[in-house]
Structure 1
Amino acid sequence: MADFFPPDGDRRAGTNRSDKSGKVADFRYKRSSKPKAKGKPGHAKPHGRNSGKSRRRPERDDSRGNNARAPASPPTFAPHNQTRPHPRQAYAALDLGTNNCRLLIARPSGPDFTVIDAFSRVVRLGEGLANSGRLSDEAMDRTLGALSICADKLRRRNVFLARSVATEACRRAANGAAFIERVRQETGIALDIISAQEEARLAVLGCHILLEQGDSPAVIFDIGGGSTELVLLEPGEAVPRIVDWQSVPWGVVSLSDTVPRTGYTDADRSARYAEMRRVVRDSFTPFAERIGAAAKGPDIRLLGTSGTVTTLASLHLELPHYDRNAVDGLIVPSHSMRAISTRLSAMSPDERSQLPCIGRDRAELVVAGCAILESILDIWPAQRLGVADRGIREGILRSLMAAELKPHPAGQEAS
């Protein structure tokens, strides 16, 4: 399923930006060939995962945790001169969102790929952005710590080809471009600020294989930290064609910041949740009206990719802890997701934090995610909802591998 398909046409909404992302990849990574000075602080020799000489504590990769540590100093990257990859060569995709920093490293495996390393951390890069218009110093420092770990993994895994993207927070922030340059200087990672259209395309490419089979219209949505993307797909295609799409500036972080808490009573929580749903519904309405009858009817297929839908799916299954294998590809009755959303919105943050698969990091933000999800179900009242724990990173990997591993005429190299 390493199919690659480009954005279709120019049917976009909510942006006047160019939707062409010129950068294909960041680096062909390898360890620096420059010798390191012996004994110089902050320049330890490369070492294995279990090396007893390392001063760093062992890092733990936990998609629901926040306890990995940054390396003592940023690694140095140099371009890889190899022009054609070996089938077992490693590829990487890094997605820096408004709330999370995620890395996936994988090798081709038949028509798909096998993950060999991963990292995820809640960095809250967009915290306060909706009100200030800027990335805060604290948020940038948190994010740099996570990106330093990603840079170390890219070096140690000897990644052949990688692409690193940044989304809504860096698109909106007045100091977004300056932060991208700081990341490059301090970690060696060259982040590409992609358009909302490119973000939607990559999310679809990464998760469309989890759509229910059928000839009815399909909508894939991605509830992020700073934005939500809605994509209408043409039915009946093995590799679906994007018919229309929209991105709205409401994600779990931006919506939480824009509709803040005004009190702690049941009535206060109910009023805030209703206002969140109103704000989101008003933003979705133009897209719903534009696509009209093309996405109507009870047989419409919905697929959601985000921390919101995977968290709610975990609660639906009553899992004691998050299990990607149980959640990714799950089909959940929509009425169950609505019931869980209503229950969570009425709880206090402390009550939500005690629930399995939520914890402190998601206790506040999950309410905004529930409001976005219910607004989507209001517009498209599907009986079932597909759940995907995959998206942009997987889309990047598929596109990189498809472009690099496709056959080339004799005497020609990949461009």
Structure 2
Amino acid sequence: MRLGVIDVGSNTVHLLIVDAHPGASPVPHHSERSVLRLMRFIDDDGAITDEGQRMLVEAIGGAARTVAEIGVDDVMATATSAIREAANGDAVLARITRETGVELRVLTGDDEARITMLAVRRWFGWSAGEILLFDIGGGSFEIAQGADEYPDAQVSLPLGAGRATINFLRDDPPPREAVSRLRAHARAAFTEARDAIFADRPAPTRVVGTSKTIRSIGRLVGGPADPLTGAPAPIHYAGLKEWEPTMREMPSDVRQYLPGITPERSYQILAGAILLRTAMKVFDVSTLTVSPWALREGLVLRYIDGLD
């Protein structure tokens, strides 16, 4: 069967269409995205501005038209932290449905962690053992851990790469003091989560990162994917530490020329690198494996599981 996923995140509206059936790996058929950087359109009261709403309607409406043109058996439409945490989130959802016909399901942070862990487990298999997962979004940072398809411990922190850029790194490039403030804030949040939620978990046998931000960092720090298997190169803490000062000294319009960094990610990639490096430090991670599968693939897998 052919399935569509419309994923409304803090940075992009991403449409993924796959061919899938029980017992088989989903096969991508079509993918497209619209870059919004929605965190820029949050006002002082925490509401999504009218301009941000218009951009959402346009992007989601475009995805819906593509779905209709290609034809799918079913479509899932989800929203994450930007709409979830917006002061006017319910009104925005109602407007999107009214003007596009698309009804978005708002995922909680725990939903994101659980569904992403399912995708990661299916990608790496049971032999991966105890997995510790880092997922950097535009508005939130999910951490999950467990030995099964769903995590035994998870947390969603308001520490996405876009949010951190707006809250801490407004200057381009940012001064050292701003970087230090972000690092200190992230260290405190990650340490509190580690001690309160993950202290009783066994040491992970594999640490995995997902999301476009982490994949971009992986291409910069780790190099190209394996030419035989297509597997992304791992991210080493030492390599990330070495690259961070270089990115810090560059304005965002120059960072886009770095290996693996796309123009739409260049403005927030520094914050993403700082957050990832800090999380690796707090959780004592020297090497992180990058997963090609994440939330969208997890949504497809969970849907297909329900058919079997």
Query: Which structure has the larger Rg over C-alpha atoms?
Result: 1
Cα distance, 1:363 vs structure 2? 1.9
173-182 or 219-228, which deviates more: 173-182
Sequence identity percentage: 24
- 5 Å-filtered alignment, 1:16-95, equals 89-95=1-7
- 5 Å-filtered alignment, 1:254-293, equals 254-261=163-170, 269-290=175-196, 291-292=198-199
- Equivalent residue for 1:103? 15
- Equivalent residue for 1:228? 141
- 5 Å-filtered alignment, 1:179-218, equals 179-211=92-124, 217-218=130-131
209-218 or 151-160, which deviates more: 209-218
Partners of 1:116 and 1:263 in 2: how far apart? 38
Cα distance, 1:162 vs structure 2? 1.7
- Equivalent residue for 1:396? 299
2:7–2:79 CA contact under 8 A, matched in 1: yes
1:211–1:301 CA contact under 8 A, matched in 2: no
- Equivalent residue for 1:310? 215
**SS of 2:263's equivalent?**
helix
2:6–2:16 CA contact under 8 A, matched in 1: yes
Partners of 2:44 and 2:259 in 1: how far apart? 31
Q: Which amino acid aligns with 2:240?
A: M
**SS of 1:351's equivalent?**
helix
1:345–1:370 CA contact under 8 A, matched in 2: no
- 5 Å-filtered alignment, 1:154-169, equals 154-169=67-82
Cα distance, 1:123 vs structure 2? 1.1
**1:188-227, CA deviations, whole angstroms, 9 ceiling, x for partnerless residues?**
1110112111111111122223448757642111100110
Relative to structure 1, is the Cα distance of residues 317 and 250 closer, same or farther in structure 2, using a 3 angstrom cutoff? closer
Partners of 1:247 and 1:162 in 2: how far apart? 26
**1:301-359, CA deviations, whole angstroms, 9 ceiling, x for partnerless residues?**
2111112211111113555xx99998754433332233223431232323313324324
1:373 pairs with 269, 276, 281, which one?
276
Q: Which amino acid aligns with 1:97?
A: G
Cα RMSD (Å): 2.6
1:211–1:302 CA contact under 8 A, matched in 2: no
271-280 or 131-140, which deviates more: 131-140
Cα distance, 1:381 vs structure 2? 2.4
**1:146-176, CA deviations, whole angstroms, 9 ceiling, x for partnerless residues?**
2122101221222112211101111111111
2:118–2:150 CA contact under 8 A, matched in 1: no
Structure ranking higher in helix proportion: 2
2:41–2:51 CA contact under 8 A, matched in 1: no
2:31 pairs with 105, 110, 118, which one?
118
1:250 aligns with 2:159: yes
Relative to structure 1, is the Cα distance of residues 209 and 342 closer, same or farther in structure 2, using a 3 angstrom cutoff? farther
Relative to structure 1, is the Cα distance of residues 180 and 130 closer, same or farther in structure 2, using a 3 angstrom cutoff? same
Relative to structure 1, is the Cα distance of residues 278 and 382 closer, same or farther in structure 2, using a 3 angstrom cutoff? same
Cα distance, 1:365 vs structure 2? 0.6
TM-score w.r.t. length of structure 1: 0.67
Relative to structure 1, is the Cα distance of residues 342 and 240 closer, same or farther in structure 2, using a 3 angstrom cutoff? farther
2:11–2:39 CA contact under 8 A, matched in 1: yes
- Equivalent residue for 1:294? 201
- Equivalent residue for 1:178? 91
**SS of 1:276's equivalent?**
helix
Q: Which amino acid aligns with 1:103?
A: L
Aligned length: 306
**SS of 2:293's equivalent?**
coil
**1:18-45, CA deviations, whole angstroms, 9 ceiling, x for partnerless residues?**
xxxxxxxxxxxxxxxxxxxxxxxxxxxx
- Equivalent residue for 1:9? none
Relative to structure 1, is the Cα distance of residues 323 and 106 closer, same or farther in structure 2, using a 3 angstrom cutoff? farther
1:304–1:386 CA contact under 8 A, matched in 2: yes
1:344 pairs with 247, 250, 255, which one?
247
Cα distance, 1:125 vs structure 2? 1.9
Partners of 2:24 and 2:180 in 1: how far apart? 45
**1:70-99, CA deviations, whole angstroms, 9 ceiling, x for partnerless residues?**
xxxxxxxxxxxxxxxxxxx21112211111
2:4–2:74 CA contact under 8 A, matched in 1: yes
**1:101-151, CA deviations, whole angstroms, 9 ceiling, x for partnerless residues?**
111111125521211111122211222427440112222222222212210
Relative to structure 1, is the Cα distance of residues 99 and 155 closer, same or farther in structure 2, using a 3 angstrom cutoff? same
Relative to structure 1, is the Cα distance of residues 250 and 317 closer, same or farther in structure 2, using a 3 angstrom cutoff? closer
- Equivalent residue for 1:63? none
Q: Which amino acid aligns with 1:189?
A: V
- Equivalent residue for 1:79? none
Unaligned ranges ≥5, structure 2: none
